[in-house]
A and B are shown apart, each in its own frame.
Chain A
Amino acid sequence: MSEPLLVLDNVTKNYGAIQALRGISFSIGRGEVVALLGDNGAGKSTLVKIIAGGLEPTSGRMLFEGKEFLARSPAEAKAAGIETVYQDLSLCTNVDVVANFFMGREITRKVLGVPVLDERAMEAVVGKALANAGTRIPSLRTKVEHLSGGQRQAIELNRFVHWGGKLVLLDEPFAALGVEQTRRGLDMIRQVASQGIGVVIITHIMQQAFQVADRIVVIRQGVVAGDVARNKTSPDAVINMITGETLAGAGPAGREQ
């Protein structure tokens, strides 16, 4: 593979005396899907937040497209091309579907020098994006609070597919989805990756990881406990890595084992 998209080099995060991340190192290539696995409290969500600009690492460095990278806010990460879907949904339920889709990136036109929301243009874009993804929502002007959990998650997923960027982080994106929607979500991920976008997906479900990922990275107690290509491992081996029964798999693991 050519130059990796994102490289993490010994990233740590302390909360006071508690070490949430004790030195994480791995990399993601363009168009690659990496499944991030690990037990509860292993540090997966912390890691995602650090990449996405929600948290600052205590030490270590990151290279994004070969350049030193540190996002101090989600806005900076977005500007660099990193999109994130969080496990607790990031929707404003008090506004409609269109407003959520364009949150922070509204299309405007100038009226007397003042930026004014161009609702019609935005609605057209959202209608098209949702139709392409096969998501059906009765009215784009419905407030999100009146939509079901599955519909809400579909909006989030369609949002990241639409905005794309260079790297997408998904923190348990399918928690509220049904079987059919999950299948469609996994297809979306492959489709996004085929456009050359790097994807990191956190999941608890082994089957999903093996369905969609090119590589599987296991985090245990704040370090990388395994970093293997999907076709060179098996669910059982990965489970062993998660629980720590074996240290199977290569990768920069076990610094403090």
Chain B
Amino acid sequence: MSPRTRHSLELVLDNLVWFMLVFVLAVFSIFIPNFAQLGIFANIIEASSVLGVMSIGLALVIIAGHMDLSVESVAALSAMAVGIMFCSSGIGLGLQLHPDWLMVPVSLAIALAVGAVIGVINGFLIVRLKMSAFIITLASYIWVRGLVLVVSGGRSAQDLAPAIRWFGIQRLTGLPLTAWIAIGCFGAFSLILAKTPFGRHLVMIGGNETATFRAGIRVNRNLIIAFVLAGAIAGLAGWLLAIRTSGATANLGVGLLFNAFAAVVIGGVSLKGGVGTLPGVYAGVLLLSAINTAINLMGLPANFTQVIHGLLVLAAVLLDAFKQTIRQKLA
């Protein structure tokens, strides 16, 4: 095999999920009437912003060889915190700040801080006390959701302050600003993971934690930062969620965790750690969103979505194994 073909083959393998996305979009465009229009594509991107942002944090800790099941509940708690403070009806306190735009950075800071605090708790328990990430974050998944119920009393907050809502309404080249935030996050964190020492260390920790420790990399510090980032990014997802729904309900975002997992796995991230890229995860998110949109357009009952998502995850895992065998032959 010439180096050239080998190179292009590796390129295809590395970006397989993007080819799948293009293929799926092409098939939908041909067979589903009214699918092939800019508005639909914009809608696919728009609908995936919350899930996309959440998947970034989840992908970071999984690539570092751990797990964060709490991201969904953390997003809900952040959304609820923002909702309670800045919504004017329901349980909202209707807090007003002057000038109005000040509410944007303040609400964002609150959402990020709520997420970061839970990230610190997760990270500390897992890294310092050497407990299993699965169990610790499962506990957080439960108690943080419980906290959402406690602070809301099971009720909801509506009518988010217009200054914050603005991000969900204002459009730039056809996409709302919330979607641009998600795209910007993917861009920034893709660069961090691929191009900085911190990102490189996370990938290597996911590959062989002992080796990185012996090489003098501060493993514990890096892992705690990863969990804090996952929490804060989930907080950002919660902020976007509050904007999207113009408030917060006690069961906001239920089920997002599994979609995020699906997106991460479809995007080529190995649950064993050390393998995966964020652009791939974004493609996974868009793929899920495209399928949802197609199901809506075809008028199929929404219940089909879950079946298809499940099959897609299965297909992604099988595909991953297949890729491994091809790579083995390439080497």
Contact = CB atoms under 8 A, between A and B. Distances in A.
A114 B191 CA distance: 11
A94 B214 CA distance: 17
Interface in A99-150: 99, 103-106, 108, 114-117, 142, 146-147
B171 interface: no
B323 to A, nearest CB: 13
A95 B200 contact: yes
Nearest to B63: A94
Interface residues of A, number: 30
Chief secondary structure at chain B's binding surface: helix
Nearest to A86: B214
B206 A94 contact: yes
A204 B274 CA distance: 34
Contacts of B330: 146
A104 B204 CA distance: 10
A53 to B, nearest CB: 9
Contact of A142 (B211, B215, B331): B331
B218 interface: yes
B217 to A, nearest CB: 4
Given A92-B274, A117-B200, A142-B331, A75 B216 contact: yes
Nearest to A145: B331
Contacts of A90: 208, 210-211, 214-215
Interface of B: 195-197, 200-201, 203-204, 206-208, 210-218, 274-275, 327-328, 330-331
Given A86-B214, A108-B196, A116-B196, 17 more contacts: A75-B218, A84-B214, A91-B208, A92-B207, A92-B274, A93-B207, A93-B208, A94-B208, A94-B275, A99-B200, A103-B211, A105-B215, A105-B216, A106-B200, A116-B195, A117-B196, A146-B328
Rank and list the top 9 A-B pairs by shortest CB-CB distance, nearest first: A146-B331, A94-B207, A75-B216, A92-B207, A94-B274, A90-B211, A104-B215, A103-B215, A92-B204
